[in-house]
A and B are shown apart, each in its own frame.
Chain A
Amino acid sequence: MSVTVRIPQPLRRFTENRDVIELSAGTVGEALEQLERQYPGITERLRESDGQLRRFVNIYVDGEDIRFLNGLATELRDGMEVSIIPAIAGGSAL
């Protein structure tokens, strides 16, 4: 399935500054694996060592939080948009 993944600015140093990545994946988990293949290191910021999504990082598929869908197994269809939103602390990080 061809989907677009929106990369938030704090993670764009992994993606050569690209904010939208087009890729082909059947589930959110597969999309993350694709992403990792293209941009090594990025999913380390998103997943725990056991592969689970970190609980301060949210992923939305067409605006729906995957926690309330099927988690990383949430299925993707053609044209869907996957959006990654990590909680951010802010300001003092110089």
Chain B
Amino acid sequence: MNREKYSRQLLFREIGEAGQERLRQSRVLVIGCGALGAAQVEMLARAGVGFLRLVDRDFVEESNLQRQIMFEERDALERLPKAIACARRVARINSDVRAEAVVADVNEKNIERLIADVDLVLDGTDNFETRYLINDACVKHEKPWIYGAAVGAYGLTMTIRPGITPCLRCVFEKIPPPGSSPTCDTAGIILPIVLFIASIQVTEAIKLLIGRTEKLHSGLIQVDAWEMSVHRVSLQQVRERADCPACHHRRFEFLEVGRRQSALTLCGRNAVHISSAGDVSLDLREIAERLKPLGEVTLKEFLLVFRVNGYELNLFPDGHCIIKGTEDMTLARSLYARYIGM
């Protein structure tokens, strides 16, 4: 172990040498490398967590830079996939850490494989569909995971230890339908709340990884950075009293294949996400050649950008696509079918 590198963390007695060694041996999955995810990755990498698997389906854009601390202007110009940009930055921050980038949409087909060999899952997603999927997979396989979300100057977080604490479905029974969540609008967000919530999540992560579970906050934490208030709701007995499909009935409906919509409107972005049809690996170069006569094609390192009739298709090698310029899922599907093929 490089004692100099971690000297200040080693001096913190709650971690010490034994804790540092456990961090080095730990494996963490971060799902979603946006604002929260990037902040988590930065802290975990600096803390010396040995292995990080970074999963994200999106690419870096200029509007991300105000709050997504792992990215720089050139990443946005390059439209670098966020998972790749994060992994590259981890390599520059701390060469002790192995970062594996996965540019993909997390879904019922890959979630169980993604969590299989990690100790902990951190939530950096921006949608409930994926969170309930993570929740089902983690409850099923008894993996701890840490929910976090932020909007405006407000955020929530909760640490879930299957079998011990309530899970996300014990606390929030139902997934908010798209557009109905009180936050799915033009609320905006400031970076400090992102770092606030990510800091709570990563502190919890460290405690979990080094085995200091008695120190976990074991509640639902609500932070309002603007009013500077932190509220903790105790979740004692919620697990026992909630008739949870996942915890009590071992019914994992979010893991059922085909449950998910193939197209999803990305809230507030005037864009639609189209899922990959299955295990495919596209030859973007070949598709670029085919599309050139039909519109403007730009081939980036990890994705293909195709502009046609005011729409912009961003196609990834695994077949998933972000279509900008519309929130109409049917239209987006037909654009995908017409130009990429289903």
A91–B125 CA distance with the chains assembled, in angstroms: 8
Instruction: Decide: B181 and A88 in contact? CB cutoff 8 A.
Output: yes
Contact flag A9-B224 (CB < 8 Å), given A68-B238, A89-B183, A90-B149: yes
Chain B contributes a number of interface residues (CB within 8 A of A) equal to 52
User: Which residues on B sit within 8 Å (CB–CB) of A93?
Assistant: 126, 151, 183-189, 267-268
Q: Which residues in A have their C-beta under 8 angstroms from that of B237? A: 68
B92 CB within 8 Å of chain A:
no
Q: Is A55 an interface residue (CB 8 A)?
A: yes
Tell me if A89 and B242 are in contact (CB < 8 A).
Answer: no
Interface residues on A, range: 20 to 34
Q: Tell which of A6, A65, A68, A89 touches B181, judged by Cβ atoms closer than 8 Å.
A: A89
Given the interface pairs A19-B224, A58-B172, the reply to whether A88 lies near B183 with Cβ below 8 Å is yes
Within 8 Å by CB of A90, from B36, B224, B266, lies B36
Distance from A47 Cβ to chain B, minimum over Cβ atoms (Å): 12
B116 sits at the interface (CB 8 A): no
> Which A residues touch B148, using CB under 8 A?
90
Q: A89-B128, A94-B186 are in contact. Are A56 and B174 (CB under 8 A)?
A: yes
Interface residues of B (CB under 8 A from A): 34-36, 63, 67, 125-128, 148-156, 171-176, 180-189, 194, 220, 222, 224, 226-227, 229, 231, 233-234, 237-238, 241-242, 266-269
Interface residues of A (CB under 8 A from B): 6, 8-11, 19, 45, 54-58, 60, 63, 65, 67-68, 83, 85-94
